[in-house]
């Protein structure tokens, strides 16, 4: 799964990198420890324009009774997005990219109760483009649609590449620039072709290192979280 990630790039840089034509007015504070249920940047296509917007992390399907349903839908397994009711409609028409400057995963350490967190990022320092899905939710009683809709998203996960497999059995699906147009195109209904885009990123594109367990605390969001841990837990096999 992907339960924490880094979002430190300013929106103007993200807009340029993802060739965005419109940017939302809301600006998020940089965070090196983004957690579920928080707002995150997303790249979507709307009204024929590629937009950078902010959505709630944790997909809330249109049929949900309340937004808390999204607390359990921060990730969508690539193996089931075409069939599962929570994701099927979004996969068909509401696909997005969730920018990230890296993410965390935790590895079991023999003889230790606590897992060792690792920070995973691109070798070249460029943003990651997580494949995602999004939805729009309103309360059932709002039949006149007078309230502001809740726009939410989820990160698609799949099998890991050989490097991340040393830590965890799943990882976020990352899209190369060549796939962004097809993925975001809301008129693209070739689900078989879209599914073929959802493969593990090459291991050579990523670097990783152990970090402090301070990342376990969602209140800690500073840049020190991605610094290499002072000890060498797990480095013999992963660096």
* Closest to 157 (Cα-Cα) out of 130, 128, 177: 130
Here the tokens at position 180 are 């962004």
Please say if 105 is a catalytic residue: yes
Question: Which residue among 2, 45, 96, 153 is the active-site one?
Answer: 2
Q: What are phi and psi of 71, to 5 degrees?
A: -60, -25
Here the tokens at position 110 are 């023999």
**Other C-beta atoms lying within 10 Å of the C-beta of residue 147:** 10
CA–CA separation, 25 vs 27, rounded Å? Answer: 6
Question: Which residue among 45, 96, 105, 153 is the active-site one?
Answer: 105
Cα angle value 47/52/58 (rounded, 5°): 100
Please say if 153 is a catalytic residue: no
Catalytically active residues are 2, 105
């Amino acid at each position: 799964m992907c339960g924490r990630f880094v979002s430190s790039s300013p929106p103007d840089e993200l807009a340029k990198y993802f060739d965005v034509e419109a940017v939302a007015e809301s600006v998020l504070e940089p965070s090196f420890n983004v957690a579920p249920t928080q707002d995150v940047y997303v790249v979507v296509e709307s009204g024929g324009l590629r937009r950078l917007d902010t959505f709630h992390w944790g997909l809330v399907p249109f049929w949900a009774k309340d937004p808390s349903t999204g607390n359990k839908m921060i990730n969508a397994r690539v193996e089931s997005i075409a069939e599962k009711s929570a994701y099927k409609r979004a996969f068909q028409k509401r696909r997005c990219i969730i920018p990230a400057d890296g993410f965390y995963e935790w590895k079991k350490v023999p003889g230790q109760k606590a897992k060792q967190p690792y920070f995973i990022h691109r070798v070249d320092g460029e943003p990651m483009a997580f494949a995602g899905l999004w939805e729009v939710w309103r309360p059932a009683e709002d039949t006149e649609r007078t309230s502001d809709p809740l726009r939410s998203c989820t990160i698609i996960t799949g099998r890991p590449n050989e490097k991340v497999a040393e830590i965890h059995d799943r990882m976020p699906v990352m899209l190369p620039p060549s796939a962004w147009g097809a993925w975001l195109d809301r008129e693209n209904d070739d689900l078989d072709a879209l599914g073929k885009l959802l493969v593990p990123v090459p291991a050579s594109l990523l670097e990783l290192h152990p970090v402090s367990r301070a990342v376990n605390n969602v209140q800690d969001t500073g840049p020190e979280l991605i610094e290499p841990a002072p000890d060498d837990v797990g480095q013999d096999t992963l660096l």
